Amino acid sequence: MAQNKSRTFTTTVMIAILVLAVGCGSPGSKDEVSSVPVITNNSEEETTNTAPIDTTEPEEVIEEDVDDLVDYMMATNIANYVVAANTSLPEDVLVISDSSALLRMPDSDEIDELKARGEEDFYTVADDHNYYRYLAMQFLDSVKTKTYHTSARYVKYAMAHGDTLTLDLKDEWALPWNFILFNTVDLPMIGDIIDHETDHSTVFGGGKVFMDEVYYYKETNEFSAPAYYRDRYDAATHQYLKDNLGEEIFSDMEIRRIRLPANLAFKYLNIDGLNEVMIFNEQNEHIVSARYNGAEYYDGLIEGGFRINFIPLSTFDSIDYRTFTYCVSAQARSNVVLGRITESTDDSTLFKLIKKDIGREGRFVWSKDAKFVGGDLSKTYAIFSQSSSTGELSYLHKYDGTNLTRLLNNEAGWAFYRIYPTALQSFNEPVFLIYSGKPETDLTFVQIATFTGSEYELLNTMWLTVE
């Protein structure tokens, strides 16, 4: 449900302030914050500057508001929770290595201390938090996010690239009731229990789904997908990354794989939403899920390039390297329709319509799914392919059993060689992966065609928003 952001922020600060006032001692040893960002209200209501400015509010009230805001900012800064590497930890410290949410409650000692500082305030804060905690748990369950519940002091996060980060959840700035989100790739985030849906989207992909072709490397039991830069590609950045590669991971007669250090991968490559992916075959069957395992430079390809690697989370049947295989971000589970396949057809009416539209004969297949076909040809996608001097060209049509509508066939001189309907859907329509190429050249690349609610369009990114 949509929320008013300014109201949500104000409520969150108020609860945090109560928690800090009841549960935190004087900062004392912490360094003072020398400056505070200016907070503005960006509401959509129209405003004017004709009203006189009220300057009668006492200065000490403004200072208290700023102090409260500073306390809130410190309590939600993950850096203030990090434990020094030489800290002695209990043997039973909670270790988290998977994408998850953590909901922390104060332990018995903390509860006694909170009550001693103000029992009425304690119950106010506890009641408020229990209510928002219940809403957050319902949401986390609905999106299938694993959730940890604890009152422990320490938690150690094991990140996908090998680093670990230990947090002290009873640090002087820490909130006794806490909400932490972790996607295994980025640093854990101290979340907002009230605006949990927004923070969940921020941590687990922001609603953006990644999809692209992958290759399976049997030698290292890894899947590999193309890597993309966070910003526009430039030769200088590409060369800088090549000059700062790490250890060699694998080498044979055809290729060398060299690790890109994690800090450079996070800074220059877009790995949003890639903490876990689902792997599908050409029949749109879910083969296995896999987790992020770092970025590498593959030396030995035609021009070489950076790729993202994923380790399978379970065993699976062997894959023929010649078979088309692709990945989808795991947060898109609810937008997946399994088993959408491509079948041949000898429908003479469809054949005549395509021949008339294209202007020449050829073979063709259609994308078929029980949900879309329903026993007839309504809402069926026809993928027509024709042979030419430059190879096989493909065209995407929509066929309702009577009428044929061409949806896509090329873009600015780039022809479509192969069109694959995927398990992912948008607005209840299939999303397509399309191999495009420049005729008379060896240049090829993969594009996504997604339904917008009224028509198909090609994306210039491999991240998409699905409804």
Note the pLDDT tens digit of each residue in 193-223.
888 887 887 777 656 789 999 999 888 899 9
Q: What pLDDT is stored for residue 68 in this prediction?
A: 56
Of these ranges, 61-65, 203-207, 370-374, 455-459, the one predicted with the greatest mean pLDDT is 455-459
178 and 325 both lie in a single domain: no
Q: What is the mean pLDDT of residues 50-62?
A: 41
Q: What is the mean pLDDT of residues 368-378?
A: 38
| pLDDT digits 0-9 by tens, 241-294 | 999 999 998 888 888 999 998 878 888 888 877 878 899 998 888 999 998 888
Q: What is the mean pLDDT of residues 146-151?
A: 94
Whether residue 46 is contained in a domain is answered as: no
Q: What is the mean pLDDT of residues 407-418?
A: 73
Whether residue 49 is contained in a domain is answered as: no
Which range, of 137-141, 203-207, 427-431, averages the lowest pLDDT?
203-207
Whether residue 58 is contained in a domain is answered as: no
Q: What pLDDT is stored for residue 2 in this prediction?
A: 35
Question: What does pTM read for this prediction?
Answer: 0.61
- Name the domain boundary from 269, 299, 332: 332
Whether residue 299 is contained in a domain is answered as: yes
For 236, other C-beta atoms within 10 Å of its C-beta total 7
Whether residue 39 is contained in a domain is answered as: no
242 and 269 both lie in a single domain: yes
Give the angle subtended at the CA of 310 by the CAs of 307 and 313, to the nearest 5°: 175
Provide the sign of the torsion angle of the four alpha carbons 56, 57, 62, 64, taken in this order: positive
Q: What pLDDT is stored for residue 322 in this prediction?
A: 73
CA distances from 369 to 217, 301, 325, 381, 438 (A): 31, 36, 19, 10, 31
| pLDDT digits 0-9 by tens, 332-367 | 777 787 776 676 776 777 777 877 777 655 455 655
347 and 322 both lie in a single domain: no
Whether residue 54 is contained in a domain is answered as: no
Give the residue, 391 or 13, on which the prediction is more confident: 391
238 and 327 both lie in a single domain: yes
Q: What pLDDT is stored for residue 412 in this prediction?
A: 62
With beta carbons less than 8 A apart as the criterion, state whether 96 and 157 touch: yes
CA distances from 297 to 152, 229, 239, 258 (A): 41, 13, 11, 5
Terminal alpha carbon distance of the chain: 15
Q: What is the mean pLDDT of residues 115-142?
A: 88
458 and 348 both lie in a single domain: yes
Percentage of the chain exceeding pLDDT 90:
21
- Name the domain boundary from 183, 203, 223: 203
Q: Could you tell me the two tokens for 153?
A: 């002091």
368 and 252 both lie in a single domain: no
Q: What is the mean pLDDT of residues 407-429?
A: 78
Q: Are strands 380-388 and 94-96 parallel, antiparallel or unpaired?
A: unpaired
Whether residue 147 is contained in a domain is answered as: yes
What is the domain count for the chain? 3
Q: What pLDDT is stored for residue 154 in this prediction?
A: 93
20 and 135 both lie in a single domain: yes
Confidence of residue 151 (pLDDT cuts 50, 70, 90): very high
- Name the domain boundary from 170, 203, 236: 203
Mean residue pLDDT across the chain: 75
Whether residue 41 is contained in a domain is answered as: no
Which range, of 67-76, 90-99, 367-376, averages the lowest pLDDT?
367-376
Which range, of 6-10, 311-315, 413-417, averages the lowest pLDDT?
6-10
125 and 142 both lie in a single domain: yes
Q: What is the mean pLDDT of residues 65-88?
A: 72
187 and 78 both lie in a single domain: yes
Q: What pLDDT is stored for residue 375 in this prediction?
A: 32
Show the domain range for 94: 6-25+63-203
Q: What pLDDT is stored for residue 360 in this prediction?
A: 55
Confidence of residue 62 (pLDDT cuts 50, 70, 90): very low
15 and 136 both lie in a single domain: yes
114 and 190 both lie in a single domain: yes
189 and 221 both lie in a single domain: no
| pLDDT digits 0-9 by tens, 24-41 | 443 333 333 322 222 223
